[in-house]
Amino acid sequence: MLDLVKKIVKAPAISGREDAVADVIRAQMEPFCDEIYRDKMGSLICLKRGSAPDGERRKIMLAAHMDEIGFFVTFIEDNGFIRLTTIGGINFVAAAYTTVVFANGTRGVLVPETGTAAGSLTFDKFYVDIGAKDKKDAERKVKIGDYFVVEPTVTRLMGKRIAGRPMDDRIGCVIMIETARRLSAPRDDIYYVFTVQEEVGCRGAKTAAFAIAPDVAIAYDVTGTGDTIGAKPMAVKVGGGAAIKLKDSSVICSPEVVAGLIATAKTEKIPHQLEILTHGGTDTSSMQMAGSGCAAGCISIPTRYIHSGVEMIDLGDVEACIALTAAYLEREGK
Amino acid sequence: MNELKRIDLLRALCAEFGPSGCEGNVADFIEGQLRGVCETRRDRMGNVIAHLPGEGPRVMLSAHMDEVGMMIKSIDDQGYLRFANVGSIDARVQCGRAVTVGNEQNQVPGVIGAKAIHLQSADERKNATAVSAMYIDIGASSREEAEKYVDLGDFAAFASEFVAFGEDGQRLRGKAIDDRWGCAVAIETLRALADKPLAVDLYAVFSVHEEMGKSGARVAAYAIRPDVSITLEATAVADLPSTAAAARVGELGKGGLLSFVDKGTVYDAGLIDFALETARRADILVQLKRYSAGSNDAAHIHKTADGARAMALSAPTRYIHSGSCVADARDFDAICALLREMLERPWGFTPNPTKETF
């Protein structure tokens, strides 16, 4: 699984520019699905048909977002420095003095203007230095409208713990791919939807769910933890198992889905914890409220240092998420 | 109704009284200009929806009919009108402005007043007057007289003569360029393509309520279900002496502004490439929009129902949301030319999802 994680984090793909990672995921999903397509917004939809007869076969939508936070090039100064705008919630303390990479492989460093006070790190104070001599030199590699990300990495820590970026939400994509590998004969139709544009407002999940009109939807995304120094009190911790979401700032998860996930986890003895996230939204509510609505929940991966270069997770929690999903979907009825 | 073209069309559109919520006169004018060109209908929110049928991807142009304005919320004993803004207006461009007050049937002239500078204290002079301290004077001297002309809930809009000025008369000054400009572009596009075999199924939505952020266009999008949405707007540029180069957004006279991102939308990469390639091939001026502070109807349209691929092509406009927006006639021609080129030829890519089955 670590190899899959490394492969998927590597493709730079910000909100609205997901092609590079969609291609990687598509290649991974092809052996496990009956139909694969990109919808009008670009979400990657992989359908695995179920064996139950018509009328008993439900539509289940699983969603993880393919996009990551990043930047667009807005301007190239005469001296070759590159100005930017942000996509998604960028933490500029974490992004200052990092290496960045563009879609065409060009690398640069993202830095604040010299003398900028630590409390004044806003996007207009930053620029990228790709080592160009002047504007004309820079334009050989980069143009307005190009996008770039902080360099993706994966570092092994102790035990099954790893740190890097973007775990948000490539680790959710990994869970869905591994679930598809495991679930070779589902009863229900399973739509594995790798959504676009979550980081700018959960846009892809809304339009995909409208078209699919699922009966049940489950999102996979990272969630914060209460186990770091200075963290606000929160029950979720890294290593505590799959986090079953009760609520975040965008959604109150449907009680029947929450109850079903908890019951499954207990019966199958899958390590799990309950999650309430006070700041942060996910694709869950976009699916719950699309069209005529559906029952929706979320299985979260406990993650420290979200939206930094060192997002930290425990692969044991990831395995628990996969096991919980497979067991939940294999249960009769709910 | 006489057929009006190009800048005459824009002039007449800008002259119409149409703050958000009061777009009927603009809608009537537009339907009149499209008579004989294509079918049009009015939906329940008041959007005008025009359709030129064709075989191919469904493309929806959108331009909003409403301008920023004000709504009358009370009339005082002296006949002065208190108001609230409809749409975002910088209070500093309102005080002392000439306005038109009324509704679709009747309008009267007025002035936005506040305490004259001679009468202000030193403190008051330092700060811009807040909207709550402003009033509209329609020349009535009592509540009874004012009520003969105006009701609560009536509207006000900037009153401003449309003028062509500057180099070769190419600069255009007037109110409501945002977004009567987009309406004029859409009308000219429909006229240009009306008798041609089309490679797209073309809709044009002249929408309501954009300046309030409510987006009438989204209900039209729900009904139409476009594959591609092209929003035609007027957008603020700051190509002014005091602005740093990186924050200038774009320049007048250098072609339409093609957006790649703003607060509401990440625009489709394929459509951007198609527009740039078309412009290069046909030698049409176009610029990429450099800054992304605001958003437009594309934000609502592209997330409606099962989604759409989004593009926005806008007039570079100075002093937007004021009584004196300034744009450039050469950009009007460039935008119309680019749209015609894009819509006339068979599209080089498939905007619809392609399914692989195993």
Element (H, E) at B33: helix B24-34
Does residue B256 register a pLDDT over 90? yes
Tell me what percent of chain A is helix, strand and coil, each rounded to the nearest 5: 30, 30, 40
Tell me how far apart the alpha carbons of residues A119 and A111 are, in angstroms, rounded to a whole number: 15
Report, as an integer, the average pLDDT of A31-56.
95
pLDDT of residue A74: 94
Of A39, A197, A210, the CB nearest to B266: A197
Contacts of A36 in chain B (CB under 8 A): 355-356, 358
pLDDT of residue B356: 64
Residue of A nearest to B249 (CA): A74
The residues that bridge with B98 in the sheet, in sequence order, are B111
Does residue A332 register a pLDDT over 60? no
pLDDT of residue B2: 82
Contacts of A212 in chain B (CB under 8 A): none
Return the higher-pLDDT residue of B243 and A278.
Answer: A278
The answer to whether A35 is a known catalytic residue is no
How high is the mean pLDDT of chain B? 91
Q: Which residues are CB-neighbours of A101 under 8 A, at least 6 positions away?
A: A12, A107, A148, A149, A151, A152
E runs forming strands in chain A: 35-38, 44-48, 59-65, 70-76, 82-87, 98-102, 107-112, 126-129, 147-150, 153-156, 161-165, 189-195, 216-223, 242-247, 272-276, 295-302, 311-314
Active-site residue among A198, A199, A275, A311? A198
Of A34, A83, A208, the CB nearest to B357: A34
Q: Are A15 and A198 in contact (CB under 8 A)?
A: yes
Q: pLDDT tens, A195-206?
A: 999 999 999 999
Tell me how far apart the alpha carbons of residues A62 and A40 are, in angstroms, rounded to a whole number: 18
The interaxial angle of helices A2-10 and A19-29, nearest 10 deg, is 150
The chain B residues in contact with chain A (CB within 8 A) are 227, 245-247, 260-261, 266-269, 272, 288, 290-292, 302-309, 351-358
pTM of the predicted protein model:
0.93
R_g over Cα of chain B: 21
Does residue B9 register a pLDDT over 60? yes
Q: Which residues are CB-neighbours of A53 under 8 A, at least 6 positions away?
A: none
C-alpha distance from A96 to closest chain B C-alpha (Å): 20
pLDDT of residue B240: 74
Look-up of token digits 């927006």: B325
Tell me how far apart the alpha carbons of residues B338 and B113 are, in angstroms, rounded to a whole number: 43
Check A37 against B356: CB less than 8 A apart: yes
Tell me how far apart the alpha carbons of residues A95 and A165 are, in angstroms, rounded to a whole number: 12
Give, rounded to a whole angstrom, the gap between the first and last alpha carbons of chain A: 29
Q: How many CB atoms lie under 10 A from the CB of residue A156?
A: 12
Long-range contacts of A258-264, Cβ-Cβ distance < 8 Å, separation of 24 or more: A258/A297, A260/A328, A260/A331, A260/A334, A261/A297, A261/A299, A261/A324, A261/A328, A264/A324, A264/A327, A264/A328, A264/A331
Report, as an integer, the average pLDDT of A231-244.
96
Report, as an integer, the average pLDDT of A166-195.
97
Contacts of A74 in chain B (CB under 8 A): 246, 290-292
Of B307, B354, B358, the CB nearest to A33: B358
Does residue B185 register a pLDDT over 60? yes
pLDDT of residue A224: 95
Q: pLDDT tens, B266-316?
A: 999 999 999 999 999 999 999 998 776 788 999 999 999 999 999 999 999
Q: Which of B219, B306, B231 is nearest to B267 (CA)?
A: B231
Of B291, B307, B355, the CB nearest to A207: B307
Report, as an integer, the average pLDDT of B79-97.
90
Tell me how far apart the alpha carbons of residues B31 and B27 are, in angstroms, rounded to a whole number: 6
Check B357 against A211: CB less than 8 A apart: no
Q: What is the ipTM of this complex?
A: 0.91
Return the higher-pLDDT residue of A330 and A147.
Answer: A147
pLDDT of residue A193: 98
Residue B181 CA neighbour count, 13 Å, CB half: 33
Give, rounded to a whole angstrom, the gap between the first and last alpha carbons of chain B: 58
Does residue B1 register a pLDDT over 70? no
When scoring A18, A21, A41 by the number of chain B Cβ atoms within 10 A, the one with the most, hence best to mutate, is: A41
Report, as an integer, the average pLDDT of B247-272.
91
Report, as an integer, the average pLDDT of A90-114.
97
Query: What is the band of A44 on the pLDDT scale with cuts at 50, 70, 90?
Result: very high
Percentage of chain B surpassing pLDDT 70?
A: 95
Q: Is A88 helix (H, G, I), strand (E, B) or coil?
A: coil
Q: Which of A102, A148, A101, A108 is nearest to A131 (CA)?
A: A108
When scoring B295, B303, B355 by the number of chain A Cβ atoms within 10 A, the one with the most, hence best to mutate, is: B303
When scoring B239, B243, B260, B352 by the number of chain A Cβ atoms within 10 A, the one with the most, hence best to mutate, is: B260
pLDDT of residue A152: 98
pLDDT of residue B323: 84
pLDDT of residue A307: 97
Return the higher-pLDDT residue of B133 and B346.
Answer: B133
Q: Are B52 and B193 in contact (CB under 8 A)?
A: yes
Check B261 against A206: CB less than 8 A apart: no
Report, as an integer, the average pLDDT of A174-193.
97
Return the higher-pLDDT residue of A50 and B130.
Answer: A50
Element (H, E) at A272: strand A272-276
The interaxial angle of helices B177-193 and B329-344, nearest 10 deg, is 40
* Token representation of residue A117: 């006070």
Query: What is the band of B149 on the pLDDT scale with cuts at 50, 70, 90?
Result: very high
Contacts of A204 in chain B (CB under 8 A): 307
CA dist A198 to A27, A43, A282, Å?
22, 10, 7
Does residue B117 register a pLDDT over 70? no
Q: How many CB atoms lie under 10 A from the CB of residue A121?
A: 16
Does residue A281 register a pLDDT over 70? yes
Percentage of chain B surpassing pLDDT 90?
A: 73
Look-up of token digits 């790893």: A162
Q: Is A1 helix (H, G, I), strand (E, B) or coil?
A: coil
Look-up of token digits 């004309």: A136
Q: Which residues are CB-neighbours of A17 under 8 A, at least 6 positions away?
A: A67, A103, A147, B266, B269
Element (H, E) at B98: strand B98-102
pLDDT of residue B350: 56
Q: Which of A42, A44, A45 is nearest to A16 (CA)?
A: A42
Tell me how far apart the alpha carbons of residues A288 and A218 are, in angstroms, rounded to a whole number: 9
* Token representation of residue A26: 């598509």
R_g over Cα of chain A: 20
Active-site residue among B23, B210, B211, B233? B210
pLDDT of residue B132: 84
Residue of B nearest to A19 (CA): B269
Check B246 against A77: CB less than 8 A apart: yes
Tell me how far apart the alpha carbons of residues A113 and A115 are, in angstroms, rounded to a whole number: 6
When scoring A21, A38, A40 by the number of chain B Cβ atoms within 10 A, the one with the most, hence best to mutate, is: A40
C-alpha distance from B358 to closest chain A C-alpha (Å): 5
Contacts of B352 in chain A (CB under 8 A): 40
Tell me how far apart the alpha carbons of residues A174 and A184 are, in angstroms, rounded to a whole number: 16
